[in-house]
């Protein structure tokens, strides 16, 4: 068997239009894998968000089945409490669990949803959700001390404060983040001789958010002639080169999967979701702040409030239902009508120019096979993900040019990408259409002849 049998390189937020079209000729490693293997756009889950998308991909389950609807979730029906969805929230087996049962040893580096590190057959270094680089980020625990000796600085879990104007510092941190993951991958490959080696680079995500308007004329804040115009392109070239170096250390017969959890697009602006709920009388505050600021749940007049929201790359709306929320207003029998009216109003909402913004509004029951935990009552793609949902309240106006939690140039796009190449079974650049993130797990298990749970959401795709 080659070592590793399978290399998975996750590129968080890697955008198919940039890899497959715009910069394909400048990315020799990815270009070679595309030309020799199979490739195509990969539809993400709804919401197309890092957490839960990676866990959905690797478990074959949807956000409702996992009970993970974003980075932060309501742990119960109380008001204002949100908890980070960490590894312990994922109750379904993921790829390495299935492979471990079949005797495969895995080495994982930075896979979102692996803090606390899973107790797998193999080794794991946690993801960006870990609170700090010290003990507790690895399996086994003693690996953490060894890591430090392999790196010339502390292990960087994420780019600190990536929504800021310190562009030079952010760029340096993005490269450090990337290089550390590839260094660890090379070290763990050599020492562990794993059957599965998987790393996820978050740099591709952070660089889109920090620099997109510097190169894309479609961004409303495009900076012509920016000194940062080539930053994203150069970074993709750097990542491509690192993948090439890592592949050169793998067995020539190692199969390779390059995959992203969603894509990226320019952020056109922000819709102030809570401000809209306030204007329409659905959200009532005891006093409205003069200037926009974060929604203070303790200032909400709950017995008079129908709904409140949370912002982010997508919007979430929670309804205040009698008998379900502590001070619920909506009678249970009126819930569906109230929710449908909200969805209809949001769908028809005009943008700043008076034309419809193109919002897409979903209920969890439409999207998911099960709805575990506390799901939002509505999920909103503002401008079909072209716009960001803004949670702030107070002041004037429904629309903002920028994000309210720091500068952010990019929003997520519904499609990420997939490239697969097995040197023993080349497919000569076959384009795969209609791929879904849910197809990844059943397709991988099938090609290695391993049993899959009978009720997975995705289908088996012939990757090679």
* C-beta of 123 vs 199, nearer to Zn ion: 199
* C-beta of 258 vs 357, nearer to Zn ion: 258
* C-beta of 269 vs 416, nearer to Zn ion: 416
**Which of 7, 12, 194, 378 forms a contact with Zn ion (CB under 5 A)?**
12
Span from 5-13, 86-94, 311-319, 368-376 in contact with Zn ion (CB under 5 A): 5-13
* C-beta of 50 vs 392, nearer to Zn ion: 50
Shortest gap between Cβ of 53 and Zn ion (angstroms)?
6
Span from 31-39, 50-58, 180-188, 272-280 in contact with Zn ion (CB under 5 A): 50-58
**Which of 216, 261, 404, 409 forms a contact with Zn ion (CB under 5 A)?**
261
How many residues form the binding site for Zn ion (CB under 5 A)?
4
Place of tokens 């204007």: 279
Q: Is 186 in the site for Zn ion (CB under 5 A)?
A: no
* C-beta of 206 vs 282, nearer to Zn ion: 206
* C-beta of 156 vs 437, nearer to Zn ion: 437
In whole angstroms, give the CA distance from residue 160 to residue 267. Answer: 21
- Provide the 10 A C-beta neighbour count for residue 172: 12
Shortest gap between Cβ of 55 and Zn ion (angstroms)?
11
Q: At 131, list the tokens.
A: 């609170």
Shortest gap between Cβ of 417 and Zn ion (angstroms)?
12
* C-beta of 12 vs 15, nearer to Zn ion: 12
Shortest gap between Cβ of 385 and Zn ion (angstroms)?
13
* C-beta of 98 vs 209, nearer to Zn ion: 209
Shortest gap between Cβ of 273 and Zn ion (angstroms)?
21
Shortest gap between Cβ of 411 and Zn ion (angstroms)?
12
Span from 82-90, 219-227, 256-264, 420-428 in contact with Zn ion (CB under 5 A): 256-264
Shortest gap between Cβ of 29 and Zn ion (angstroms)?
21
Shortest gap between Cβ of 410 and Zn ion (angstroms)?
11
Shortest gap between Cβ of 230 and Zn ion (angstroms)?
23
* C-beta of 50 vs 176, nearer to Zn ion: 50
Span from 12-20, 79-87, 143-151, 157-165 in contact with Zn ion (CB under 5 A): 12-20
Shortest gap between Cβ of 205 and Zn ion (angstroms)?
5
* C-beta of 72 vs 77, nearer to Zn ion: 72
**C-beta separation of 270 from 21 below 8 A:** no
Span from 81-89, 94-102, 254-262, 345-353 in contact with Zn ion (CB under 5 A): 254-262
Query: Using H for helix, E for strand and C for coil, what is the string for the chain?
Result: CCCCCEEEEEECCCCHHHHHHHCHHHCHHHHHHHHHCEEEEEECCCCCCHHHHHHHHHHCCCHHHHCCCCCEEECCCCCCCCEECCHHHCCCCCHHHHHHHCCCCEEEECCCCCCCCCCCCEEEECCCCCCCCCCCCEECCCHHHHHHHHCCCCCCCCCCCCCCCCHHHHHHHHHHHHHHHHHHHHHHHHHHCCCEEEEEECHHHHHHHHHHHHCCCCCCCCCCCCCCCCHHHHHHHHHHHHHHHHHHHCCCCCEEEEECCCEEEECCEEEEHHHHHHHCCCCCECCCCCCCECCCHHHECHHHCCEEEECECCEEEEECEECCECCCCECHHHHHHHHHHHHHHHHHCECCCCCECCCEEECHHHHCCCCCCECCCEEEEHHHHCEEEECCECCCCCEECCCCCCCCCEEEECEEEEEEECCCCCCCCEECCCEEHHHHHHHHHHHCCCCCCCCCCCCCCCCC
Q: Nearest-CB residue to Zn ion?
A: 50
Q: At 69, list the tokens.
A: 């609807």
Q: Is 43 in the site for Zn ion (CB under 5 A)?
A: no
Q: Is 50 in the site for Zn ion (CB under 5 A)?
A: yes
**C-beta separation of 51 from 112 below 8 A:** yes
Shortest gap between Cβ of 49 and Zn ion (angstroms)?
7
Span from 80-88, 260-268, 399-407, 452-460 in contact with Zn ion (CB under 5 A): 260-268
* C-beta of 48 vs 284, nearer to Zn ion: 48
Shortest gap between Cβ of 379 and Zn ion (angstroms)?
17
In whole angstroms, give the CA distance from residue 283 to residue 311. Answer: 15
In whole angstroms, give the CA distance from residue 452 to residue 60. Answer: 10
* C-beta of 256 vs 259, nearer to Zn ion: 259
| Torsion from C-alpha of 356, 358, 359, 365, nearest 10 degrees | 130
CA angle 160, 163, 168 (to 5 degrees): 70
**x/- track of binding to Zn ion for residues 328-367 (CB under 5 A):** ----------------------------------------
Enumerate binding residues for Zn ion (CB under 5 A).
Answer: 12-13, 50, 261
């Amino acid at each position: 068997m080659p070592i590793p049998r399978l290399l998975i390189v996750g590129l968080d937020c890697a955008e198919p239009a940039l890899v497959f079209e715009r910069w394909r000729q400048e990315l020799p490693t990815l270009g070679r894998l595309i030309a020799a293997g199979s490739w195509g756009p990969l539809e993400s889950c709804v919401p197309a968000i890092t957490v839960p998308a990676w866990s959905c991909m690797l478990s074959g389950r949807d956000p409702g089945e996992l009970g993970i609807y974003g980075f932060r979730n309501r742990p119960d029906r109380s008001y204002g409490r949100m908890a980070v969805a960490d590894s312990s929230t994922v109750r379904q087996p993921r790829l390495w669990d299935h492979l471990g049962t079949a005797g495969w040893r895995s080495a994982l580096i930075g896979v979102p949803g692996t803090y606390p590190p899973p107790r797998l057959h193999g080794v794991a270094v946690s993801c960006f959700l870990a609170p700090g680089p010290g003990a507790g980020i690895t399996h086994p625990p003693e690996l953490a001390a060894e890591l430090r000796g392999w790196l010339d600085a502390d292990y960087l879990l994420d780019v600190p404060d990536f929504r800021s104007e310190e562009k030079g510092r952010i760029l340096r941190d993005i490269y450090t983040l990337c290089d550390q993951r590839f260094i660890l991958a090379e070290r763990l490959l050599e020492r562990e001789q794993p059957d599965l080696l998987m790393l996820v680079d978050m740099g591709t995500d952070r660089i889109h958010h920090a620099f997109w308007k510097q190169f894309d004329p479609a961004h409303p804040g495009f900076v012509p002639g920016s000194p940062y115009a080539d930053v994203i392109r150069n970074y993709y070239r750097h990542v491509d080169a690192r993948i090439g170096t890592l592949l050169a250390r793998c067995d020539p017969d190692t199969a390779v999967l390059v995959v992203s959890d969603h894509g990226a697009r320019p952020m056109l602006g922000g819709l102030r979701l809570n401000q809209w709920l306030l204007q329409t009388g659905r959200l009532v505050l005891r006093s409205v702040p003069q200037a926009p600021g974060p929604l203070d749940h303790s200032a909400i007049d709950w017995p008079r409030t129908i709904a409140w929201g949370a912002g982010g790359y997508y919007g979430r709306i929670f309804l205040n239902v009698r008998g379900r929320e502590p001070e619920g207003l909506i009678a249970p029998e009126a819930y569906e009508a109230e929710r449908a009216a909200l969805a209809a109003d949001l769908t028809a909402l005009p943008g700043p120019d008076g034309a419809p913004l193109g919002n897409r509004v979903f209920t969890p029951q439409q999207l998911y096979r099960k709805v575990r935990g506390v799901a939002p009552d509505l999920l909103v793609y503002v401008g079909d993900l072209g716009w960001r949902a803004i949670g702030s309240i107070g002041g004037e106006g429904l629309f903002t040019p920028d994000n309210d939690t720091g500068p952010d140039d990019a929003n997520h796009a519904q499609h990420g990408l997939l490239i697969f190449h097995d040197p023993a079974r080349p497919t000569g650049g076959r384009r795969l259409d209609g791929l879904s993130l849910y197809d990844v797990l059943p397709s991988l298990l099938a090609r290695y002849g391993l049993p899959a749970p009978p009720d997975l959401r995705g289908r088996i795709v012939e990757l090679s």
